[in-house]
Amino acid sequence: MRSAEIQRDTNETSIALSLEIDGDGSRSIKTGIGFFDHMLDLFAKHGLFDLSLNVKGDLDVDEHHTVEDVGIVLGDAFSQAVGDKAGISRYATQFVPMDEALAIVNVDFSGRAFLQYSVQCPDQFVGGMSSQIFEEFFRAFATAAKITLHISVPYGSNTHHVIEAVFKATGRALRFALEDDPRNSGIPSTKGVL
């Protein structure tokens, strides 16, 4: 069972998270931000991750601390759950269309944290959230998960569709990168460690 449970408490957020990588997409997500809940719901459903997430954040300030801290905790959970990475496929690429928008996500469970985020949102806000905050979420996630994550949207005119395609594509890319590779039971690196 590749799973993790994390409780993280700061002066800004309190987060309880449990993750099962090899799940069926069961999820219970409560961040206090409706649109963010919807995006994480899509992420877990399309990644087939079992995800339970309960967050209390300083939403009276704004959504920034909540969104960034969820990225940190979710990334930590993936890092813990995947273990030494023996037998995983390691790399994956997913193209996901959402009506007029197309998201392309490439992931490498490299042990090196890096985010390349090339997403232009037509609107400054979506679902009551700043559309800029999603780059901070994915940066926090990639850093904590210790993965290389490239996200791009070459076109899309509806901000909701753009962000939705990104979350779906990221969930699917992680899913396939973490699948067992039956031809390689060892660490998928010539270095012998990731």
Domains and CATH numbers, the chain: 3-177 (3.30.230.40)
pLDDT average, residue stretch 2-14: 98
Pairing type for strands 148-155 and 114-118 reads parallel
Considering only residues 1 and 152, tell me which one the structure prediction assigns the higher pLDDT. 152
pLDDT at 185: 86
Q: Using one digit for the tens of pLDDT, what is the confidence trace for 93-127?
A: 999 999 999 999 999 999 999 999 999 999 999 99
Q: Copy the structure tokens of residue 76.
A: 């930590």
Alpha helices by DSSP H, 17-158: 34-47, 64-82, 133-145
Cα torsion through 133, 136, 138, 139, rounded to 10: 170
Band (pLDDT 50/70/90 cuts) for residue 1 is confident
